[in-house]
Amino acid sequence: MLDIKITKTTEPKQKPSSDQPLGFGKIFTDHMFIMNYTEGQGWHDPRIEPFHKLSLSPAAMVYHYGQEMFEGLKAYKGDDNEVYLFRPDMNAKRTNVTNDRLCIPNIPEEDFVQAVKTIVDIDRDWVPTTPGTSLYIRPFIIATDEFLGVAPSATYLFMIILSPSGAYYSSGLAPVGIWIEDEYVRAVRGGMGFAKTGGNYAASLIGQVKAHNEDYSQVLWLDGVERKYIEEVGSMNIFFKIDGKVVTPALNGSILPGITRNSTIQLCKSWGYEVEERKISVDELVEAQHSGKLEEVFGTGTAAVISPVGKLRYVDDVMLINNGQIGELSQKLYDTMTGIQYGKLEDKFGWRVKV
Ligand code: COI
């Protein structure tokens, strides 16, 4: 159990008003969690401080070789006025999976969850209440050694910041257009595609710029070896409903094991859908669309929740999905997932955790 020292701000910020559009990840609360790691001493000095800028040496290793990781989860205000998290234990587990790949020391899962609960509790008045909004929680770790050699750092900072947020896409639940990228790749076999680390997102930016220039909102990545199999969108995992079955790429090491992905699979199975986690080629997708079997496409992610896809572009093919409308399954998943998160539906799987 962490002994967290709490220093509260003496200058609380103005909270956004309930009619102010929040956007995603633009506003930050009054406090932050910080904990240091020093080789030989382990994680130490857990504390909550007023939200502040960092002072780091320009030689800090994170700036040069990108040794860092991050997580994302949300806190929701229930009708009972209590604050709830969604499966924070899964974020704690995934943190250490990422840490192992990045040579960052593990954080005990219970300490991770305690830190999240404590900072959210301190800033619980910042959890927004307008429908569709939540408090986005961003835990992250950076390498802080002042050293230009390429090696794992001996010192780190683990921090958690909080951001009252609305929908990730400015279009909200309206179906998005997705660009299937056929030139660049995001991750390769044996690389770090499964890890939640900045490098994967940096690698995705060029594709995103390309897609935006063509008026698509996101990029769907193909595998890095054959550039043939569907992987993920970068800010979300991807699902297809083909001929009544739910199909999603299997976790092959280059795809992020999304918590919303896992929850979606469990929900679909509980509703009697056959769910296939397997390789799915872009050719199979184009064929399914041409034969009328591609019924729905949607993304899943903590920030994106369930995001219907209305249009998919691959080279010269522009596929309109479900006439550009939200599909029945996508809508049901969105309603159920958010219903559980906000406490409006029974939590049959025991996913909600009270702060
Ligand atoms: C999340 O969904 O929490 C993520 O971390 C995706 C991020 C790129 C916004």
346 part of a folded domain: no
Nearest ligand 1 atom, CA 196: 5
User: From the CB of 235, is ligand 1 less than 6 Å away?
Assistant: yes
Contact call for residues 84 and 344 (beta carbons, < 8 A): no
User: Which of 103, 130, 165 is the last residue in one of the domains?
Assistant: 165
**pLDDT for residue 20:** 85
Is the same domain home to 65 and 88?
A: yes
Q: Using H for helix, E for strand and C for coil, what is the string for 193-258?
A: CCCCCHHHHHHHHHHHHHHHHCCCCEEECECCCCCCEECCCCCCEEEEEECCEEEEECCCCCCCCC
170 part of a folded domain: no
| Neighbour-count burial of 89, counting CB atoms closer than 10 A to its CB (0-12 exposed, 13-18 middle, 19+ buried) | middle
Is the same domain home to 185 and 204?
A: yes
Structural domain that includes position 57: 5-165
228 part of a folded domain: yes
Is the same domain home to 286 and 156?
A: no
**CA pseudo-torsion sign 261, 105, 144, 148:** negative
Q: What rounded mean pLDDT belongs to the chain?
A: 95
Q: Of residues 86 and 317, which shows the higher confidence score?
A: 86
239 part of a folded domain: yes
Q: Of residues 151 and 172, which shows the higher confidence score?
A: 151
**pLDDT for residue 174:** 84
Report the C-alpha gap between 111 and 114 in whole angstroms: 5
Q: What is the pLDDT of residues 62-73, one digit of tens each?
A: 999 999 999 999
Q: What is the CATH number of the domain that holds 248?
A: 3.20.10.10
User: From the CB of 302, is ligand 1 less than 6 Å away?
Assistant: yes
Confidence (pTM): 0.95
Nearest ligand 1 atom, CA 73: 3
351 part of a folded domain: no
Report the C-alpha gap between 262 and 93 in whole angstroms: 14
301 part of a folded domain: yes
**pLDDT for residue 172:** 66
Q: What is the CATH number of the domain that holds 161?
A: 3.30.470.10
Is the same domain home to 154 and 180?
A: no
Task: Tell me the best of 170, 204, 235, 255 to mutate to test the pocket of ligand 1, counting ligand atoms within 8 Å of each CB and taking the most.
Answer: 235
User: Any idea which of 7-16, 53-62, 161-170 has the lowest mean pLDDT?
Assistant: 161-170
- Ligand 1 mean position, distance from CA 291 (Å): 34
**Does the pLDDT at position 303 exceed 80?**
yes
**Centroid of chain to Cα 256:** 9
- Ligand 1 mean position, distance from CA 305 (Å): 10
Amino acid at 323: N
**Does the pLDDT at position 252 exceed 70?**
yes
**Does the pLDDT at position 227 exceed 70?**
yes
212 part of a folded domain: yes
Write the DSSP assignment of 256-274 as a string of letters. Answer: ---HHHHHHHHHHHHTT--
Task: Tell me the best of 90, 256, 302 to mutate to test the pocket of ligand 1, counting ligand atoms within 8 Å of each CB and taking the most.
Answer: 302
- Ligand 1 mean position, distance from CA 302 (Å): 6
Q: What is the count of structural domains for the chain?
A: 2
**Does the pLDDT at position 170 exceed 80?**
no
Q: Taking Cα atoms as reference points, which of 96, 115, 125, 105 lies closest to residue 160? A: 115
